[in-house]
Amino acid sequence: MANAAAYSSINGANLRRPSLFDALGEFRVPLEATVSLWSAITGEWPAVEPAQRKIVMLIPGFMAGDSSLIPVANFLHRRGHRTIFGGIVSNSDCPRDTVRNLTSRLVQARERFGQRIAIIGQSLGGVYARELARMHPDAAERVITLGSPLRQPRDAANVAVQAVARSMAMLRGRSDGCLSESCRCGMMMNDIAPIGVPITVIYSRSDGVVHWQSCIDHTRSRTVENVEIPGSHCGMGMNIAAYRIIAERLARPRRPIEAKSRVASN
């Protein structure tokens, strides 16, 4: 578990962005993908009993689409899990609209498969994954975030990401609204951890897109764990260390319905 004191200095005035060295480290993604592909095929992984196989919703990061998480989906299929995507071509729409669409897919999947849905989100997708679990804890089995900025995501991002966000806002004619500095919807989604839903927060100190300290959960919830891995931000969805954590967490037994009800009633 990460030490909460490490985040004590992070606020609007002192928040840092990734260093140039870390930003350049994002070019290691092809190497991470090659290593992960080989290890995913040849490595030993936790056995998953048929009764414990999960339905997993995958949510991509900022500006990315569902196709960016195909490597994760393939890995999960080999473990016996079933995946569903968020229906996102480019994750750059208004957070409220995106969460609304994802909520519809989550609820429909819960009804269709008759079990809670595990949610894995990369970067901005992890912010939305936590919000879905907070809004619908009865539909979420667990959440795993990959390099997701949980506090002040825009301030913690490198200047290139900020420039893209501003450009997207101007192209939509919303320079003072969606995806701009004045936009507040979606920026404070993670102040409160979902009640009763296990959350695994995966982060890397060498993240070159958002500062690693912004990716740590400090709600002190007993259902939340912070796990550090080596690797880049963009390569989180192709990181063998992340895959090992994902495989182990998804191999765990499902949460009993009655246990969830007791938590919600407190």
- Quick: pLDDT tens for 248-259: 999 999 888 654
Residue 99 lies in a domain: yes
228 strand-pairing partners? 203
pLDDT at 34: 86
The CATH number of the domain holding residue 204 is 3.40.50.1820
- Alpha-carbon distance 86 to 102, whole Å? 6
Residue 37 lies in a domain: yes
Residue 2 lies in a domain: no
Q: Which two tokens mark 266?
A: 């407190």
pLDDT at 236: 92
pLDDT at 223: 92
pLDDT at 252: 92
∠ Cα 89 90 93 (to 5°): 115
- Residue scoring higher pLDDT (234 or 265): 234
Q: Once rounded to an integer, what is the mean pLDDT over residues 106-118?
A: 96
Q: Is residue 12 over pLDDT 70?
A: no
**Minimal CA–CA distance to 81: which of 53, 122, 48?**
53
Contact 59, 80 (CB under 8 A): no
Q: How confident is the model at residue 9 (pLDDT cuts 50, 70, 90)?
A: very low
Q: How confident is the model at residue 11 (pLDDT cuts 50, 70, 90)?
A: very low
Q: What are phi and psi of 145, to 5 degrees?
A: -105, 145
Residue 78 lies in a domain: yes
Residue 176 lies in a domain: no
pLDDT at 108: 97
pLDDT at 92: 82
Residue 30 lies in a domain: yes
Residue 76 lies in a domain: yes
Q: State the number of CA atoms in the 13 A half-sphere of 48 facing the CB.
A: 23
Q: How far is CA 107 from CA 30, 57, 84, 103, 117, in A?
A: 35, 11, 12, 6, 9
pLDDT at 120: 98
Q: Is residue 66 over pLDDT 60?
A: yes
- Residue scoring higher pLDDT (29 or 249): 249
Q: How confident is the model at residue 46 (pLDDT cuts 50, 70, 90)?
A: confident
If you average pLDDT over each of 21-30, 91-100, 178-187, which comes out highest?
91-100
Strands (E), 117-238: 117-122, 140-146, 199-203, 224-228
Residue where the block lists tokens 């969460």? 99
- pLDDT over 70 percentage in the chain: 72
Residue 130's domain comprises 17-156+190-252
Contact 186, 96 (CB under 8 A): yes
Q: How confident is the model at residue 68 (pLDDT cuts 50, 70, 90)?
A: very high
Residue 169 lies in a domain: no
Helix, strand or coil, per DSSP, at residue 24: helix
pLDDT at 230: 93
Indicate the range of 32-36, 148-152, 177-181 predicted with least confidence: 177-181
Tally of domains in the chain = 1
Residue where the block lists tokens 């609304």? 100
The torsion region of residue 144 among left (phi > 0), alpha (psi -120 to 50) and beta comes to beta
For the segment 179-231, what is each residue's pLDDT rounded down to a tens digit?
544 555 555 565 566 778 999 999 999 888 888 888 899 888 889 999 999 99
Mean pLDDT of the chain: 81
Q: State the number of CA atoms in the 13 A half-sphere of 61 facing the CB.
A: 19
